[in-house]
Amino acid sequence: MKLLSLFYSNEASDEIKKLEKLSLVVFVSLSSVIVIASILLAVLIEREMIITPCVMAGVIGSATAALLSALQRRASGWELEDGSKDPASSDGTVDGRDERFSLRMAPYFLFRPFLGIIGGLIVYYGSDFLITPEDINKGINFKTLIFFSLLAGLFAKTMIEILKGIFKAIFGRG
């Protein structure tokens, strides 16, 4: 119990104490997703499956990006329900960052790993169009797909925003 007290403020308001606990739930949940998906990925690679490991690598990448974002926001402080920020600063930033951990962002962090599924699927199905038989002879293989799926998961949020922009440019709506 003493170890957990290292993560909590003794003199914080009730709302900040609630955010501290919520941030730990988010950190533990995302870390668990990363560990479990990594174990599943190793098992699936051993079984020489292709599409599911791409999806798992995407989930690992996206969960890692979510965990890093949540940790950075936690380090910057809190955004309270009324919109105020703690710690407060004259320009509204901490170390040049305006983003703080908040109650509204917690569900986003917990569901962000699912964006990695999209990244893994795009890499898997996109490889049919991008990888030729000559590329396979040159050494582009299953591990390459896993690597790009991991990257697609890490940047899934950015990738989705780019795809939305392309869709809007082509079809005129977003």
Q: Is residue 143 part of a domain?
A: yes
What integer pLDDT is reported at residue 90 of this predicted model?
A: 62
Residue 1 domain flag: no
CB 116 within 8 A of CB 34: no
For 64, the domain range is 13-171
Give residue 93's region: left, alpha or beta (phi > 0; psi -120 to 50).
beta
Question: What is the structure's pLDDT at 26?
Answer: 97
Q: Which residue has better confidence, 66 or 173? A: 66
Q: Is residue 155 situated within a structural domain? A: yes
Residue 7 lies in a domain: no
pLDDT band with cut points at 50, 70 and 90 for residue 7: low
- Is the pLDDT reported for residue 43 higher than 90? yes
Residue 19 belongs to a domain: yes
Q: How many domains does the chain have?
A: 1
For 88-112, write each residue's pLDDT tens digit.
776 655 556 689 999 999 999 999 9
Q: Please, which residues bridge with residue 78 across strands?
A: 86, 101
- pLDDT number for residue 174: 55
DSSP labels for 54-100? Answer: HHHHHHHHHHHHHHHHHHHHHHH-EE-TTS-EES--TTS-BTTB---
The answer to the question of residue 8 being in a domain is no
What is the pLDDT, as a whole number, of residue 116? 94
Output the pLDDT for position 32. Answer: 98
What single-letter amino acid sits at 152? A
pLDDT of 112 reads 95
Determine, yes or no, domain membership for 2: no
| Torsion from C-alpha of 44, 48, 50, 52, nearest 10 degrees | -20
Give the model confidence (pLDDT) of 117-162 as tens digits.
999 998 888 887 776 667 666 666 778 889 999 999 999 989 888 8
Residue 5 covered by a domain: no
